[in-house]
Amino acid sequence: MGLRDINELCDIVRETSFAIHKYLRNGHLEKVYENALVNRLRKLGLKVDQQHPLVVHDEDGTILGEYFTDLFVDGRLIVELKAVRSIADEHVAQLLGYLRSSRVETGLLINFGAAKLYVRKYLMTQA
């Protein structure tokens, strides 16, 4: 999987999420969608770490702590899952904070909690 383009990887996660949402619909706990996405992505041969710890660094490189991202796919894509009625600014800020502090460039925010699946891609380029 390492040779695939990051956009192709995002497309695979997006399409898999859509298939899960089509099958399960909304109304389940976030953990159910997380487990379903892990199961299906692994069946596709992707490396998926669930509740993966990522270290938070200060600007001088000092380790400040860690957080646990819902999914870390192929060692380069953070996937943050929600099962809420609608995405709030705090959810976007959470993912952007994860990207910034972990120095991972690409993240997906996915909400299974509404009647219509929500998937947005976010990029954090280092200046």
For the stretch 14-27, pLDDT in tens is 999 999 999 999 99
List strands edge to edge, sheet with 106-111. 48-57, 63-73, 77-82, 106-111, 118-123
For the stretch 69-85, pLDDT in tens is 999 999 999 999 999 99
Give this prediction's pTM.
0.92
Q: DSSP 3-state assignment of 70?
A: strand
- The fold adopted by the segment(s) 6-120 is Trna Endonuclease; Chain: A, domain 1 (3.40.1350)
Domain extents in the chain: 6-120
Where are the alpha helices (H) located in 25-66, listed in sequence order?
30-43
Does 36 have pLDDT greater than 80? yes
